[in-house]
A and B are shown apart, each in its own frame.
Chain A
Amino acid sequence: DAGITQSPRHKVTETGTPVTLRCHQTENHRYMYWYRQDPGHGLRLIHYSYGVKDTDKGEVSDGYSVSRSKTEDFLLTLESATSSQTSVYFCAISLQDTQYFGPGTRLTVL
C-alpha cells in the first residue's frame, strides 16, 4: 500500500462548513496527489504537490485548497463544503513512474 494512510475514512458534514482531509505517507515520497472519484467520471485530479510548499492545480481544483508543510503530510481543504463535493477522495504518491493510492475518504455533504 506504499505506506499511505488517509483520515478520516468517513465524514458527514453540512453545506457551508470547512472540511480538511489528511493524507499521510511514511516513505518520503516527493510527489503526492489528491483525486476525487464520482460515478461516470472515474478519478479526476484535484491538486498535486511536488515538494514541501510546492503545489499545483489539477483538472477540478475549484473549491479546494491544499497544503504541504511536511514531506509526509498533504492536506486537502474544502473551505465551504457544497453538496457537489460529496465524493470519495483518494490520495496517491508517485513511485517508479506510476502512482499508488491510499484507501480513500468517503465524504458526504448534506
Chain B
Amino acid sequence: QKEVEQDPGPLSVPEGAIVSLNCTYSNSAFQYFMWYRQYSRKGPELLMYTYSSGNKEDGRFTAQVDKSSKYISLFIRDSQPSDSATYLCAITLIQGAQKLVFGQGTRLTINP
C-alpha cells in the first residue's frame, strides 16, 4: 500500500464548477500537508500548506485536513481554464529536512 493515495484522474469539469481533489494517507504520524499545482513541462508550485485539521482558505482555494480519517482535500471554487493542471498532494512528518511523500497527482481540465 502506498503511503499516499491520490486518484490520478483525469478529471474534466466545466468552467465555474467546484472542483474537489482528494488524497488519503496511511501513516497517522504525518503532520504537514501541502498542495502543489504543476503545469505541463513545469516544476510544481506550492498552492497551499497546512499542519492542522480543519479548513484553510486562500482565495478560490480551500485546503481541508481530517487527521482522524487520514484524508486531505483541495477545493477550487469558480474554476477557470487557467486552473487546468496536475494537482499533487504532499505530506511530511517533520520540519527541517523534510522528506515529502507525494501522491500520484490528479490531472484536471477546466472546459470553457
A positions within 8 Å CB-CB of B: 1, 31, 33, 40-45, 48, 50, 56, 58-59, 90, 94, 97-104
Contact = CB atoms under 8 A, between A and B. Distances in A.
28 contacts: A1-B43, A31-B98, A40-B8, A40-B104, A41-B104, A42-B88, A42-B102, A42-B104, A42-B105, A43-B90, A45-B100, A48-B97, A48-B99, A50-B96, A50-B97, A59-B99, A90-B44, A97-B51, A97-B95, A98-B34, A98-B98, A99-B90, A99-B98, A99-B100, A100-B45, A101-B43, A101-B45, A103-B43
Secondary structure dominating the interface of B? loop
Given A48-B97, A97-B98, A98-B32, 16 more contacts: A31-B97, A41-B104, A42-B4, A42-B6, A42-B104, A45-B100, A50-B96, A59-B99, A94-B96, A94-B98, A97-B32, A97-B95, A99-B46, A99-B98, A102-B43, A103-B42
B21 to A, nearest CB: 13
